[in-house]
Copies of this chain bind each other. A is one copy, B any other.
């Protein structure tokens, strides 16, 4: 599989694929006789894995370390496990934060919904302007 296909398949720019390989975020990909990258099944799995992890916000630095450990073989299994556990912990925290923010956003939106209805009423009865700024946004 050439870089163009891999890029297409996983929706990762070619430049990014080369960059990831260059910095050791994915193990080195074999080249064919003409020197071009030829991605094996294994390489594709790495690309997909890294894309997934990056999408969840795991820092490149940490992932480089993980790949490095992997390439050092089985003595690093324990270390890799600990690395993943630490990342899981941080990911859970981020998800919790985001859920809270989502609830807040939901609440704000319901408030805006009411405000819009209010505005529509006002438009129908333009007399009661005395309501003043019905300033939405309690933050």
- Chain A residues in the interface with B (C-beta under 8 A): 45-46, 48-49, 52-53, 55-58, 70, 73-74, 77-78, 80-81, 84-85, 87-88, 91-92, 94-95, 97-102, 104-106, 108-109, 112-113, 115-116, 119, 133-139
Contact = CB atoms under 8 A, between A and B. Distances in A.
Contact of A55 (B101, B113, B136, B139): B101
A92 B84 contact: no
Contact of A112 (B55, B81, B112, B135): B81
A92 B102 contact: yes
B101 A53 contact: yes
Given A84-B112, A106-B88, A98 B56 contact: yes
Contacts of A108: 84
B91 A101 contact: yes
A134 B98 contact: no
Query: A55, A106, A112, A134: which has the most chain B beta carbons within 10 Å?
Result: A112
Contact of A105 (B74, B87, B133, B136): B87
16 contacts: A52-B104, A74-B115, A74-B119, A74-B133, A74-B135, A77-B112, A77-B115, A81-B112, A81-B116, A88-B102, A88-B105, A91-B98, A91-B105, A95-B98, A95-B102, A98-B98
